[in-house]
């Protein structure tokens, strides 16, 4: 056997074993159902978009219809391969060198790539005013900045968030728009857990499709603004994208179909489990960020606030026990902490007793508890990784 092939098989088997035995609390990944993954091995793979007989245009139309149903969008484009890719082509299509925008910065939870992209494109930006005590935008200060007429867009791109922007509180001038990167929350929006940004004017809603929206890696851009639609249509393809990934687009379509059927129950389960887990962790002595006395999060994310030493130790211990999560070192976490996500365990429809076990497991790991007890709890939880909220049909033979 070819040595590279042999090594690949070993690598794949190791990855499969690792995934099977992982307790997934990373807010940036999710479970993708076998139903959704089917088009990865389909005749859509490797097809160019400009041959009319390969059905790509019909596929795009079906995605647009599904997005209209879930997000109330007039226009939908799924030709980008990732959230960052769709953000880049969107900015290149709508903004010109030298224009100014307001941006969610990394310190307040904004995605770290956005300033880099804007700098590269010579788009000037100022930070969106933010109230770190409330984990929310300072709307009074933001509206004063919008009223100056100096800015073309507000760019909301939070990667770390336990609250979501309240567009009702933004006094947006008619000549300004909002680019709303909902990579982390697309599923929560279509599941009617949080407000839909497309219910407001002058909004472009975009994001990667593999966080709370459980699809394969793809980028999705949506809007109802006719001017933005014209600019996006005339620029994205063929100016910035030529070779698209229709197999990924077909997977996205099946994920949207899955969400039409199961999304409301699944997404509400995600947020319920996040608040349940946060409350139980607090009882174990964890310092948990909170929105109010009773609410820890409006999303799938939980913030554990720790010292840098505690954060580094807990993160490395969790990895040693094959628990996926994220460590953070930024002002939003009072400088240091851990980000958890419940979007994947919600696919297993874990119940309160399972969340009890999970909270105890994290406590034992933080405090160097009994190895045998840790192993016992891990096995119980791994045995309950049974997918829910999905179709069982095999539609591609």
* Structural domain boundaries in the chain: 21-32+262-383, 34-257
Q: With left for phi above 0 and alpha for psi between -120 and 50, is residue 342 left, alpha or beta?
A: alpha
Q: Is the pLDDT of residue 313 over 80?
A: yes
Q: Is the pLDDT of residue 46 over 80?
A: no
Return the pLDDT at 43: 79
Q: How many Å separate Cα 49 from the centre of its chain?
A: 27
Q: Which residues contact 175 (CB under 8 A, 6 or more apart)?
A: 149, 152
Phi, psi dihedrals of residue 258, rounded to the nearest 5°: -60, -40
- CA dist 187 and 341 (Å) reads 13
At the top level of CATH, which class does the domain 34-257 belong to? Answer: alpha beta
CA nearest 185: which of 23, 71, 289, 262?
71
Contact 102, 326 (CB under 8 A): no
Q: Which residues contact 325 (CB under 8 A, 6 or more apart)?
A: 25, 26, 315, 318, 338, 339, 340, 341
Half-sphere exposure of 123 (CA within 13 A, CB side): 23
How confident is the model over 298-322, as a mean pLDDT?
A: 97
- CA dist 36 and 261 (Å) reads 13
CATH number for the segment(s) 21-32+262-383: 3.90.1150.10
Residue range 98-148, pLDDT digits in tens = 999 999 999 999 999 999 999 999 999 999 999 999 999 999 999 999 999
In this prediction, residue 163 has a pLDDT band, given cuts at 50, 70 and 90, of very high
In this prediction, residue 244 has a pLDDT band, given cuts at 50, 70 and 90, of confident
Return the pLDDT at 47: 62
Calculate what percentage of the chain has a pLDDT beyond 70.
Answer: 97
Calculate what percentage of the chain has a pLDDT beyond 90.
Answer: 91
Q: Which residues contact 123 (CB under 8 A, 6 or more apart)?
A: 91, 95, 97, 98, 99, 100, 101
């Amino acid at each position: 056997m070819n040595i590279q092939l042999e090594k690949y098989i070993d690598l794949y088997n190791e990855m499969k074993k690792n995934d099977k035995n992982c307790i997934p609390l990373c807010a940036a990944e999710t479970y993708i159902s076998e139903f959704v993954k089917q088009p990865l091995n389909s005749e859509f793979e490797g097809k160019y978009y400009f041959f009319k007989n390969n059905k790509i245009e019909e596929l795009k139309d079906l995605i647009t219809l599904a997005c209209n149903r879930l997000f109330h969008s007039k226009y939908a484009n799924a030709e980008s391969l990732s959230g960052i890719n769709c953000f880049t082509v969107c900015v290149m299509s709508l903004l010109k060198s030298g224009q100014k925008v307001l941006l969610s910065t990394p310190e307040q939870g904004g995605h770290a790539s956005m300033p880099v992209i804007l700098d590269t494109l010579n788009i000037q930006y100022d930070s969106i005013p933010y109230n770190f005590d409330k984990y929310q935008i300072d709307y009074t200060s933001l509206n004063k900045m919008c009223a100056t007429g100096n800015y073309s867009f507000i760019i909301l791109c939070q990667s770390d968030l336990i609250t979501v922007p309240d567009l009702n509180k933004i006094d947006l001038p008619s000549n300004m728009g909002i680019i709303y990167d909902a990579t982390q929350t697309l599923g929560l929006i279509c599941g009617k857990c949080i407000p839909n940004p497309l219910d407001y004017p002058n909004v472009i809603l975009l994001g990667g499709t593999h966080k709370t929206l459980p699809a394969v890696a793809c980028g999705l851009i949506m809007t109802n603004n006719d001017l933005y639609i014209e600019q996006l249509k005339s620029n994205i393809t063929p100016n910035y994208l030529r070779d698209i990934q229709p197999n990924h687009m077909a997977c996205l379509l099946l994920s949207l179909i899955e969400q039409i059927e199961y999304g409301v129950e699944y997404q509400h389960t995600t947020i319920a489990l996040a608040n349940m887990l946060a409350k139980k962790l607090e009882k174990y002595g964890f310092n948990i960020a909170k929105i109010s006395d009773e609410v820890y999060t409006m999303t799938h994310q939980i913030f554990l606030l720790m010292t840098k030493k505690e954060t580094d130790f807990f993160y490395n211990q969790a990895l040693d026990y094959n628990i996926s999560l994220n460590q953070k070192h930024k002002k939003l976490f009072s400088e240091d902490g851990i980000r958890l996500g419940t979007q994947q365990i919600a696919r297993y429809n874990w119940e309160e007793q399972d969340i009890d076990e999970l909270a105890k497991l994290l406590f034992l790991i933080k405090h160097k508890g009994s190895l045998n007890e840790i192993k016992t709890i891990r096995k119980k939880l791994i045995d309950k990784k049974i997918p829910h909220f999905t179709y069982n049909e095999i539609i591609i033979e």
